Amino acid sequence: MYVDVFSGLSLELSPRDYIAPMAFDSQCPAPTGQEVPTLRLKRDADPCDRTDYSLVKDQVDRVGTSSRLHDEIAESYKELVETDRKFKLNSRDADLREASKLEPEMAYDLNQYRIASPGVFRIDSREAGKTENRGLGTGFAVRQEGNQCQIMTDYHVVTTDAGDLEPNLTVKSRDGKRAPATLKAQDVKSDLALLSVPVASIGSCPVLPLGKSSASLHPGTDRVATIGHAGGAEQQFLSGGYVIHNGRKHSEIENHPDGKTKPWKDNQVVEVAAHVIGGNSGGPAMADGAVVGATQYKRATSEMFFTPVEDIRALIAKANPFPILRAAPVPRDIPLSCTIAKEEIRAHVSRGELLNGNFNERRHIYRFKDGSVYTLNQSPSSCIKTLPGK
């Protein structure tokens, strides 16, 4: 069965059936201790899946970047080889190398999850006359502007299949606070939308750090973790994997059912060996402790695609243009008779307003607290009063 994150549906279901609020939230036990809901690679999504990260909790702070991850893997491999030699286990080298990745990769993914999780929100809507909210997808905080929190998500998350804005949009924080959301900006060609919600309604605006560029992510080397409300779940799910391709357009991706029809068909994406399902759309793709993109689309159970952070930055800039800068004020020079100039200087000095002076054979300069400057030229004789610009 094919499911894509664009619409969050399988080919056998209607567009909104698949991402309606799912009953598994009440059927699955809540995570405990170091358990985190996880989508497993190359498996059908099981909403009750959990990964116990207790074995790697002490490693998390050491593996925040891809370079540290590979250092940890190398050290783990050395330890396994030494153990295998010491106890004469005769293990295959391929098995040792595979085993050496497990805990460092878990620690890396958990590091990304801990950074992102506070700033990740579920995106909901509610149809007129209905009392229940429908989980549409995921968003994440990118900016606080005054008393408003700006949350990035995918355009297809907040619009219907006909292109209309979903009714009664709300965002729901990790601790259950809900706030009405308004659409602040959108970019259909990159499938992104920026929402604005009152900070007071959600308690705080935990803005996630944005990476400098996704273009530097290397296939087979850099690992990406994505966090989102898979399947419309109340809880946040984690999924991680290595970059496969970087910089292909949707229209260039094999077996992409919408690759030549969607408005974002010419937008470049990053492809990752990670599993996501409908509801993950709009969630942050994290690498090296920062957002490198927004989850957009999936293929089967082993590949996800995300919109690069460069597009995210562009939409934020579009929605928050720089203020118009006024030209620096230009000081005004006023020629004075030297008699008047000296009288004004004496008045300033008598009031204790002199800041400093500069005196030589050619000119005397007086600077006062109100910003005025008096220049008395000795030869030829002339006097100028300079007022600060306004």
Considering the domain architecture, whether residues 198 and 338 belong to the same structural domain is answered as: no
Residues 62, 151 within the same domain:
yes
Greater model confidence, 27 or 301: 301
pLDDT at 324: 62
Based on the fold, state whether residues 1 and 76 are members of the same structural domain. Answer: yes
pLDDT confidence bin for 8, thresholds 50/70/90 = very low
Confidence band, pLDDT 50/70/90 cuts, at residue 389: confident
Three-class HEC string of the chain: CCEECCCCEECCCCCCCCCCCCCHHHHCCCCCCCEEEECCCCCCCCCCCEEECHHHCCCHHHCCCHHHHHHHHHHHHHHHHHHHHHCCCCCCHHHHHHHHHHHHHHHHHHHHHHHHHHHEEEEEECCCCCCCCEEEEEEEEEEEECCEEEEEEEHHHHECCCCCECCCCEEECCCCCEEECEEEEEEHHHCEEEEEEEHHHHCCCCCCCECCCCCCCCCCCCEEEEEECHHHCCCCEEEEEEEEEEEEEHHHCCCCCCCCCCCCCCCEEEEECCCCCCCCCCCEEEECCEEEEEEEEEECCCEEEEEEHHHHHHHHHHHCCCCCCCCCCCCEEEEECHHHHHHHHHHHHHCCCEEEEEECCCEEEEEECCCCEEEEECCCCEEEEEECCC
318 and 383 share one domain: no
Tens of pLDDT along 73-103? 999 999 999 999 999 999 999 999 999 999 9
Confidence of residue 2 (pLDDT cuts 50, 70, 90): very low
126 and 2, same structural domain?
Answer: yes
Question: Average pLDDT, whole number, for the chain?
Answer: 89
- State the Cα–Cα distance between residues 348 and 283, nearest whole angstrom: 64
Q: Which residue reads 């800068």 in tokens?
A: 325
Given a contact cutoff of 8 angstroms between Cβ atoms, the answer to whether 316 and 269 are in contact is no
| 15 has a pLDDT exceeding 80 | no
Given 274, 292, 325, the domain boundary residue is 325
Query: Residues 350, 295: one domain?
Result: no
Whether residue 63 contacts residue 79, with contact meaning beta carbons closer than 8 Å, is answered with no
User: Do residue 222 and residue 343 come from a single domain?
Assistant: no
Residues 298 and 340 in one domain: no
Q: What is the pLDDT of residue 184?
A: 97
Of 313, 269, 275, which Cα lies nearest the Cα of 291? 313
pLDDT value for 13: 27
Q: At residue 342, does pLDDT exceed 90? A: yes
Q: Please say if the pLDDT value at position 5 is more than 50.
A: no
CA atoms within 13 A on the CB side of 327: 4
Q: For residue 21, what pLDDT is reported?
A: 35
pLDDT of residue 17: 27
Distance CA 318, CA 153 (A): 15
Q: For CA atoms 227, 229, 235, 237, give the dihedral sign.
A: negative
pLDDT of residue 328: 66
Does 18 have pLDDT greater than 90? no
For residue range 141-188, what is the model confidence (pLDDT) as tens digits?
A: 999 999 999 999 999 999 988 889 999 999 999 999 999 999 999 999
Print the domain residue range for 39.
Answer: 1-325
Between CA 238 and CA 290 the distance in angstroms is: 15
Report which residue type is found at 358.
N
Residues 36 and 140 in one domain: yes
Number of domains in the chain: 2
Give the predicted TM-score (pTM) of the model. 0.78
Question: What pLDDT score was predicted for residue 6?
Answer: 38
Of residues 39, 119, 78, the one with CA closest to residue 301: 39
| Mean of pLDDT values over 298-323 | 93
- Give the model's pLDDT for residue 332: 80
Indicate if 372 and 316 belong to the same structural domain: no
Same domain membership, residue 378 and residue 256: no
Structure tokens at 18: 């698949």
Q: pLDDT for 229-275, tens place per residue?
A: 998 888 999 999 999 999 999 999 988 878 889 999 999 999 999 99
CATH number at residue 258: 2.40.10.120
pLDDT given for residue 134 in this prediction: 86
Identify which has the larger pLDDT, 101 or 19.
101
Query: Are 81 and 118 part of one and the same domain?
Result: yes
- Residue 23 pLDDT: 43
